[in-house]
Amino acid sequence: MLHYLIKRLLWMIPMLIGISLISFFIMHLAPGDITASESAFNPKASEESRQKLRALYNLDKPLITQYNLWLKRIIKLDFGNSFASHQRPVLWEIKDTKGNISKGMIQEALPITLMINLIGLLIIFSTSIFLGVISAVNQNRWPDRLITIIVFIGFAIPGFWLALLLMYWTGVTHSWLPISGLHSAGYEKMGHLAQYTDLFKHLILPVFISSLGGLASISLYVRNGMLDVLQQEFITTARAKGLSENKVIYGHALRNTLLPLITIIGLSIPGLIGGSVIGESIFAISGMGKLFFDAVLMRDFPVIMGILTIGSVLTLFGNLIADIGYAWADPRIRRGISN
């Protein structure tokens, strides 16, 4: 097992270099650089100053040199500073000589996105496992049909449209929920409990919208997996033993159905750090999606590469964790690896 782990970890290194190389070159395929967006069309800004900026950021050097420079920094875990005029660090905060702290861009955006996605994932899995089981048990009867229709409507409905309607209905017509942002005006003056409630209220709509689309696929996975398992002989055995139907379904069938879900959970780990651009823009939440999108529009290369690198590391680890999780849960696979 340990041998397997080490092999997998070592394999990650060439994979990461490959991924970063491809990302780097694809990113540079898009025409333009930071100077095209910053004051590109202001007659008061001169071309010389743009050239100066290009030289400063090494954008005038050959691509392969730029990539080497980037690689040299990233090995030391230095993600660099943004090209934007605020020059904030991409990953983590730095302190200047006077003790002022500049927060890292990913450092600020990641927790917000992570929070929304984790809650979303929790809701998606708990809800869709339940929906899937109900569907499977009532196969082709009305609860099954109804659930399928509902989850597919949720999947098909454009999120931004539903978001705006819900914002209007809950925020403007009834003022039950805040419309956008994460904190109300006067948040600073609230007590701790009030702050949590405030944050909770702001999160209801974004989390709801972000989890709606995920329900369909997972609940169908569970439904179909459950149907397969229910036809197997050990279920017949369990029933023949005289176990209650609840015990058969939740104690025996569901546990076996959940195995493939481990892979899906592993694969959704990298998705946890990617936010939805549209969702974040509409709800005015400054998470990872908006950060990445803005960076692409501005051709802010250090930020783009920073996010891509972290994303690919997480993807690789996600795969690894899924495999390990699988081995842990399923003795057949565990034995396969050990051999």
Partner 1 sequence: MCRNYIIFLFAILFLNACGNKKEVLYNFEGQFEKEKGGMLTDAMSGEPSNLISMIAGDSASSAISGNIFNKLIKYDKNLDLASEIAEKWIISNDQKTITFFLKKNLKWEDGYDLSSEDVLFTWKLITDDKTRTPYGSDYKLVEKAEAPDLYTFKVTYKKAYAPALDTWASLQILPKHILKDEDINNTFFSRKPIGSSYYKLSRWMNGEKLTLEASTSSVMGLPNINKLTSRFIPDTSSQFLELIADNIDLMNINPIQYARVIPSRPDLEKKLALYKELGNSYTYLGFNLNHTPFNDIKIRQAINYAIDKQEVIDGVLLGLGEPVASPYKPGTRWSNKELHPYPYNKDRAIQLLNEAGFIDTNHDGILEKNGKSFTFEILTNQNKQREMTAVLIQRRLKDVGIDVKIRVIEWASFVNQYIKTGDFDAVILGWSLSLDPDQYNIWHSSQQKPGQFNFIGYTNKEVDNLLEQGRTELNIDKREKIYHTFSKILLDESPVIYLYAGYGLMAISKRIKGIDSPAPPAGIAYNSYDWFIPSTLRRNEITE
CB of 218 to partner 1, least distance (A): 14
For the bound state, the minimum distance from the C-beta of residue 17 to partner 1, rounded and expressed in Å, comes to 28
Number of Cβ within 10 Å of residue 147's Cβ equals 21
Q: Which of 181, 234, 255, 328 touches partner 1 by CB under 8 A?
A: 181
Distance CA 131, CA 148 (A): 9
**Among candidate residues 339, 280, 278, 270, the one with its CA nearest the CA of residue 311:** 270
Please report how many Cα atoms fall inside a 13 Å half-sphere around the Cα of residue 32, on the Cβ side: 13
From 3-11, 60-68, 162-170, 256-264, span contacting partner 1 (CB under 8 A) = 162-170
Question: What does 32-47 look like in DSSP terms, one character per residue?
Answer: --HHHHTTTT-TTS-H
- Binding residue (CB under 8 A) for partner 1 from 208, 265, 325, 329: 208
User: Do residues 109 and 284 lie in contact, with contact meaning Cβ atoms separated by under 8 Å?
Assistant: no
The backbone torsions φ and ψ at residue 102, rounded to the nearest 5 degrees and listed phi first, read -100, 120
SS3 280: helix
Does residue 248 touch partner 1 according to CB under 8 A? no
- DSSP E strands in the chain: the ranges are 94-95, 101-102
For the CB of residue 247, give the shortest distance to partner 1 in the complex, in Å: 19
- Return d(Cα 199, Cα 43) in angstroms, integer: 44
As measured in angstroms, the least distance from the Cβ of 43 to partner 1 is 4
CA–CA dist 37, 216 (Å, integer): 40
- Contact region with partner 1 (CB under 8 A), list: 18-26, 70-78, 128-136, 330-338: 128-136
Nearer to partner 1, 238 or 298 (CB): 298
Smallest separation (angstroms) from partner 1 to the CB of 275: 12
* Residue corresponding to tokens 């800004």: 45
Q: Among 4, 11, 25, 168, which residue interacts with partner 1 (rule: CB under 8 A)? A: 168
The answer to whether the Cα torsion of 281, 282, 285, 288 is positive or negative is negative
* Closer residue to partner 1 in complex, CB, 292/326: 292
Residues of this chain, 32-91, that bind partner 1 according to CB under 8 A: 32-33, 36-50, 52-53, 56, 81, 84-87
CA distances (Å), origin 81, targets 78, 110, 286: 9, 17, 18
Q: Which is nearer to partner 1, 44 or 76 (CB)?
A: 44
Determine if 134 is a binding residue for partner 1 (CB under 8 A).
yes
Residues in the interface with partner 1 (CB under 8 A) total: 73
Question: Which of the ranges 8-16, 62-70, 201-209, 318-326 carries the binding residues for partner 1, by CB under 8 A?
Answer: 201-209
CB of 77 to partner 1, least distance (A): 20
Using CB under 8 A as the binding rule, whether residue 193 contacts partner 1 is answered as: no
- Burial class from Cβ neighbours inside 10 Å (0-12, 13-18, 19+) for residue 66 reads middle
Give 102 or 319: the residue with its C-beta nearer to partner 1: 102
Smallest gap from Cβ 232 to partner 1, in A, equals 25
According to CB under 8 A, which one of 68, 164, 244, 251 is a site residue for partner 1?
A: 164
